[in-house]
Chains A and B, each alone.
Chain A
Amino acid sequence: MQLDHKIITNIIASGSKVLDLGCGNGELLDILVRQKNVKVQGIELDEAAIYQCVEKGLSVFHGDIDSGLGEYPDKSFDYVILNQSMQQARKVDFVIQEALRVGRKVIVGFPNFCYMKSRFMFFFQGKAPVTKSLPYHWYDSPNVHFLSVSDFRGYCKDKGIKILKSYYLGDKRLILLWPNLLALNAIFVLEKAD
């Protein structure tokens, strides 16, 4: 299992209700259904990915996450997941706020732009970084926001969002030291401050 999927699966309590924004082919939701017996709903933009979700027996809405959550009453879900999709949302602040409204907890996972190798490519090679967590070239990247672990912590502080837990991911294992420099990806568990 992918490291990020493993971490998120461990976070989520059995029997809860989960909304996955940008659920892709439904791999994570499928794991959650089978291991945690959760009730899941996905939202995904890619038509081919929708077919793969339906094949797995998952419920999924075809649409973009920028315009998706208005209908859901407050706290409709125990968890809203934004794994590797947050940095692709155009109205990212709006999406996070909406996720915090409809979910009791929000789990975000994103690539760390200030990972060591990125800094190296940028500083010494004078090139836009291409890394394991940011594998795209400038011309084919679906990402529209580029942020670091520190950037995201700053954002949460500014917006009064409570960080319940944070995980920093290397290639194969968790990073415990200097995450803004050494982490490829980060996962945060968030909650709306009262």
Chain B
Amino acid sequence: MKEKKLGIVKEQYFTFAEHPHEMKLESGQFLGPITLAYETYGQLNEEKSNAILVEHAFSGDAHAAGLHHESDKEPGWWDDLIGPGKAIDTDKYFVICSNVIGGCRGSTGPSSINPKTDKEYALDFPVITIADMVKAQKHLIDYLGIKKLLSVIGGSMGGMQVLQWVASYPERVKSAIPIATAAKHSPQQIAFDEVGRQAVMADPNWHEGNYYPKKVKPQRGLSVARMIGHITYMSDKSMEEKFSRRLREKDSTFKFTADFEVEGYLRYRGDSFVKRFDANSYLYITKAMDYFDLSGNKLIPKEKNIDLRFLVIAFKSDWLYPTYQSQDIVRQIKIKGLDATYCEINSTYGHDAFLLEIKEETHLIKYFLAKTFKG
């Protein structure tokens, strides 16, 4: 039997917050107009009760599944989980994924044109938070005419947006699936982000963020930032399995070239990231994650009568978002007496596991969604 595929998908755009209706940000500043790049898969049913919002991680985008062109080598970033018959089954559900504000993959961010100056925003772009990203998404969900999302789902920074949906608009979500994430960024996570930002800003081509008209990019700095990121996404064990101490050539060169496979891998990852990602977006989005804090009792609003189910997933070898952080999320849910499932998947992939442990995630998500949909 031939496997059913999602096929060709198309990026769409939604613009709102035009003057004088700019969107108020958490910082008190205003942003507008705002464009969101988004994709949808599957069909919205008549009751509009089968919509699932997928949230992307730090460097992700709206292209979660399918192909843009027949000739594309790689499908969307979560194609293993989204599609006909998959965990997030596009035969049953209507799936939406949008690029975050502050990003550089079609949505309004620091590399977009500031209507006031007709130049790129650069550092004139206001600092945004996870709550601002979610507020912008709510405009999109309103525009699509969806009153209540069947589920909001995402890993890492995507998981933070999931939690933010619960905190900001609990009456608009029926279930939440935060994966490999945290209710707040820890000092260790902030520290890694700061090292990345310093690497970008130390690059002479950064020009205080105004590199766009100079036709240069802080490539070295952004590449180093990404290399650090990739170390934190893997585990000691997964690096041993993937690279060990293997050399790229037969012998050591006794020079500072990339002798080891792991060095070559990091350089390759850094270089390819620079091609698709804006350095200022790197600064803005990492800052948004660092400001994120729904710890204590801030996740579930007090005053409202909330009926919401949770599926919280963590990975044993994830040291960037350790399992205790997911357990903290679960603790808040327990105190409120809400329905929740928590699973700690025994993976060796580290933080990357949320993109790789497909079989386990599929099992959990598929049945959880089916139960939520059935009621």
Contact = CB atoms under 8 A, between A and B. Distances in A.
Contacts of A59: 309, 339-341
A51 B364 contact: yes
B367 interface: yes
A54 B335 contact: no
B318 to A, nearest CB: 14
Interface of A: 39, 41, 47, 50-51, 53-55, 57-63, 71-73, 76
Contacts of B344: 47, 62-63
Nearest to A17: B337
A102 to B, nearest CB: 10
A54 B343 contact: yes
Nearest to B365: A54
B339 A73 contact: no
Nearest to B339: A59
Given A41-B339, A62-B342, A54 B367 contact: yes
Interface SS of B by simple majority: helix
A51 B363 contact: yes
B340 A61 contact: yes
B341 A60 contact: yes
Interface SS of A by simple majority: mixed
Contacts of B327: 63
23 contacts: A41-B340, A47-B344, A51-B343, A51-B363, A51-B364, A53-B341, A54-B363, A55-B363, A57-B367, A58-B341, A59-B339, A59-B341, A60-B341, A60-B342, A61-B341, A61-B342, A62-B342, A62-B343, A63-B344, A71-B331, A72-B334, A72-B337, A73-B335
Contacts, number: 54
B330 interface: yes
Given A47-B344, A47-B346, A54 B364 contact: yes
Nearest to A67: B327
B360 interface: yes
Interface string B320-344: 0000000100110011010111111
A171 B335 CA distance: 40
B367 A55 contact: yes
Given A57-B371, A63-B342, 15 more contacts: A47-B344, A50-B341, A51-B343, A51-B360, A51-B364, A53-B341, A54-B363, A55-B363, A57-B374, A58-B341, A59-B341, A61-B330, A61-B334, A73-B337, A76-B337
B277 interface: no
Nearest to A61: B342
Interface string B245-276: 00000000000000000000000000000000
B370 interface: yes
B340 A54 contact: no
Nearest to A71: B334
Nearest to A70: B331
Contacts of B345: 47
A167 B344 CA distance: 36
B368 interface: yes
A57 B370 contact: yes
Contact of A54 (B330, B334, B339, B341): B341
A53 to B, nearest CB: 8
Contact of A50 (B330, B337, B343, B374): B343
A47 B363 contact: no
